[in-house]
Every structure is written in C-alpha cells, then in structure tokens.
A = this chain, B = another copy of it.
Amino acid sequence: MRMTSQREIILKELQDSHQHLSADELYERVKKIMPRISLATVYRNLETLSEAGIIGKLEISGRQKRFDFDIHPHDHIYCLQCHRVDNIDFDRNLVNPAEVASDKGYQITGYRVEFKGICSACRRNQKKREDGDKK
C-alpha cells in the first residue's frame, strides 16, 4: 500500500478530528485541503485503511458507516436524535464469548455492544423547546 497524498490527508483529518466521522463528513473536510479529490477516493481509502488495520470501521445498526481513529477494542453509544457516535466506557471482560459459543454451533469471532440514547446536547435542546412551549 502506497501512502499517497490523498490517503495521508484522509488519515490525518480522521485522526485530528477525534470523532467518528462518516465518509461524506470526511470528504467535506478533506475537500478543503484537496479540492479536486473524489468522494470515491475517500470511500476507497477508508476501506483500504481499515482493512490494513490502521483505522477502525464502525457499522452502527441501520446507519451510515463511520470510521474510527482509535483501533483498540471498545464500544460505542449513539444518539437517536442527532446520530452522533461516542465511545463508551464499558468493561468488555463482562462478556465472555466462549460461554455463549456452543449455543448454535457458531464459531464466534467478535462482538459489539451498542448503546443508544439521547446525547446531552440534544437533551438540552429538548428541554429548551419544552420550556418555550410552556410560555
């Protein structure tokens, strides 16, 4: 794998963001630095980079894929309202795949714990709207 300038910028933007960006969000950011880049290049490189284990790919249920600068195993929570995704501090030792393995004859290779809820920003907005209604 060559480290092309496109690839480098995509990687750097994702890492600097410290967020879980989707391909098109990243595209918007990268375009500011390299205006002629193609969306397909962003998709292609995110795929390549995640296959190489340099970044993580997050497949949150029923939503757009997001990419993670942080590759160590951890879990996530997403906001039902604004769809942002955050890391969550969940003790993965609580889950023992081996215990559950026999169940249906599956050979288990991994698992994800995915929390959902309303993020603090969205809750603030909600409260603001409710207060407005009362007046």
Contacts and interface: CB of A to CB of B under 8 A. Distances in A.
Interface of A: 59-63, 65, 77, 79-80, 86, 88-90, 94-95, 97, 100-101, 103-120, 123
A112 B116 CA distance: 9
Contacts of A65: 62
A77 B104 contact: yes
Contacts of A80: 109
Considering the complex of A and B, which 9 residue pairs feature the smallest CB-CB distances, nearest first? A105-B120, A59-B62, A59-B61, A108-B117, A106-B117, A111-B115, A107-B118, A109-B117, A112-B114
A120 B106 contact: yes
Given A105-B119, A111-B115, A113-B113, A88 B61 contact: no
